[in-house]
Amino acid sequence: MAQKTKYNMVKEKITEWITSGIVKPGEKIYSENELVKMFGVSRHTVRQAVGDLVHEGWLYREQGAGTFCSLKKEPVEPQVQISNGNGKNIGVITTYISDYIFPSIIKGIESYLTTQGYSLTFACTDNDVEKEKQCLQTMLSRNINGLIVEPTKSSNYNPNISYYLELEQNNTPYLMINQYYSQLMPPHIIMNDEHGGFIATEHLIKLGHQKIIGIFKTDDLQGVNRMQGFIRAFREHGITFFPDMVITYTTEDQHSKIVEQLKHFYTNEKMPTAIVCYNDQSALSVIEMLRGLDLSVPEDVSIVGYDDSFLAEATEVKLTSVSHPKMEMGIEAAKWIVSAVEGHSSSNPQSIIYEPELIIRNSTAEVKKPNLVS
């Protein structure tokens, strides 16, 4: 929990400087060293907070000059209407809009749809089923021509199924990305997350690691599938399972639960030598926690992230991470929905599944061999 609090403290304070006018558009913010001293946090925390604010458009960097306040002074609204050319409107619902890999996915969707003269209505659910209900109601009231959706808490039963059935009754095509609701079996564009979990774990096994922890988010189907791949790698390589080797969490308890359970492992002598993380965000939280215990990555513990996001290269330790197509997925989703809206859906595949690749950086290394005393 402490890492989350420090990270949010830095991010919220810098945002407050911008919205209050203390730091004006075009003005340079404090240096990284100054922010570290000012907030009493690690360089890693400052870099992650500033990196997120750059990604969200609050700040921009000029090489050799520093980081500056951008012209944007208001946070992104949950719903944004973009002007249209042909009178047709596509709805886009994601779990988040301005965080993590979602801006890249949305940019891919927007880049294609706007060239085709379509307007867009964006909405986000914050991975909350009640907010998803409100988003769907808004989309239906606007008589959208098509809908691209990232499911909310996709591993659970979804209580909003009736709204998707209403879309079908209205002959409004919809497509799901990243995962899909198994109750509906709709057209979808997803990653082969089971294989992603497998190759992340197999990479560590081939480096000689055997005591490996897996951290997975289980209210999203992506996490469940990645965990399946993690377990399959152990089985296929004949590695012995050990108690509590899988740490699971949900949207609501992710920060506190990960740190709490990991600290339990790393306070005894026979600590795990490697960790497979649900995504790059959780991997950075883990790295911060390990640093607090005076453990180094990858010298003491190897870490693998997932999504190959901008966070994978945001710190001194560059993350080995499983790739996610991001922009490409957004473009493919936009092409699919335009084809469906314009009556060419018979040429659309029912689903597209991307095969993941492992991007190897310096957060993983061969396991340390124990010192043998003759």
Q: Is residue 367 part of a domain?
A: no
Question: Based on the structure, what is the number of domains in the chain?
Answer: 3
Q: Is residue 39 part of a domain?
A: yes
Identify the pLDDT of residue 254: 65
Q: Which residues, 6+ apart, have CB-to-CB distance to 33 below 8 Å?
A: none
171/115 same-domain check: yes
273/320 same-domain check: yes
312/330 same-domain check: no
Q: Is residue 359 part of a domain?
A: no
CA dist 283 and 319 (Å) reads 8
152/296 same-domain check: no
64/107 same-domain check: no
**Integer distance in angstroms from the first to the last C-alpha of the chain?**
44
65/87 same-domain check: no
87/97 same-domain check: yes
Identify the pLDDT of residue 5: 65
Identify the pLDDT of residue 337: 96
31/122 same-domain check: no
Give the chain's residues under pLDDT 70.
1-5, 20, 63-64, 71-86, 254-256, 269, 370-374
Q: Is residue 307 part of a domain?
A: yes
199/317 same-domain check: yes
- For the chain, what is the radius of gyration of the CA atoms? 22
CB 36 within 8 A of CB 46: yes
CB atoms within 10 A of CB 296: 11
CA dist 331 and 302 (Å) reads 34
Instruction: Output the CA torsion 83→86→88→90 (10° steps).
Output: -50
Q: Is residue 198 part of a domain?
A: yes
210/186 same-domain check: no
CB 133 within 8 A of CB 160: yes
Q: Considering the entire predicted model, what is its pTM?
A: 0.79
Q: Is residue 365 part of a domain?
A: no
CB 74 within 8 A of CB 98: no
CB 251 within 8 A of CB 217: yes
**What is the tens place of the pLDDT at every residue in 186-242?**
999 999 999 999 999 999 999 999 999 999 999 999 999 999 999 999 999 999 998
Domain of residue 17 covers 2-69
Q: Is residue 301 part of a domain?
A: yes
Identify the pLDDT of residue 85: 54
Identify the pLDDT of residue 2: 40
Note if the bond before 298 is cis, omega within 30 degrees. yes
90/180 same-domain check: yes
CATH number of the structural domain spanning residue 125: 3.40.50.2300
Q: Is residue 372 part of a domain?
A: no
